[in-house]
Amino acid sequence: MKNYKFTIHGNQYDVNVVSVEDNIAEVEVNGTSYKVEMEKAIQQTKTPKLVRPSAVPSTDSHPSVSKTSAPSAPKGAGYVKSPLPGVILDLYVKEGETVKKGQKLLCLEAMKMENNIDSDKDGKIVKINVNKGDSVMEGDILVTIGE
């Protein structure tokens, strides 16, 4: 636990405090063990335990809701959502234009990387919800694709 060196009346003592429980201390003086009773118990300081709450992503209000529409989803309006927070660098399509599955719709800069956002279904661009230079958050609807 703790080691001390004492000099008393010219004599050297190596003292090792092995343990302390309540008001009894177990010590070794020059290799000989002793149990020493103290007048009052020593209050040992306890290290506080760090407790953190479980982290939940702030952008997922409902984790069960998918971020993009499924490619096998029935035909009708489909939404292309932002996979990451970022800035729209370029739009490759216009409203009313017909697109094929896998066609590039727009370019999103996220974490200093350019990400191409592709169409996940065939259809016509019904609405474009963003403009070049817009900041978007994860899950924001970027483009609506319809029949």
- How high is the pLDDT of residue 64? 52
For 78-146, CATH gives 2.40.50.100
Task: Give the residue range(s) of CATH 2.40.50.100 domains in the chain.
Answer: 78-146
Q: What pTM value is reported for the model? A: 0.48
Mean pLDDT of 8-27: 87
Tracing tokens 């066609």 back to the chain, one arrives at 103
Read off the pLDDT of residues 6-17 as tens digits, 9 standing for 90 and up.
Answer: 898 999 999 898
Examine the pLDDT at 76 and tell me if it is beyond 60.
no
Examine the pLDDT at 63 and tell me if it is beyond 70.
no
Rounded CA-CA distance 19/31 in Å is 15
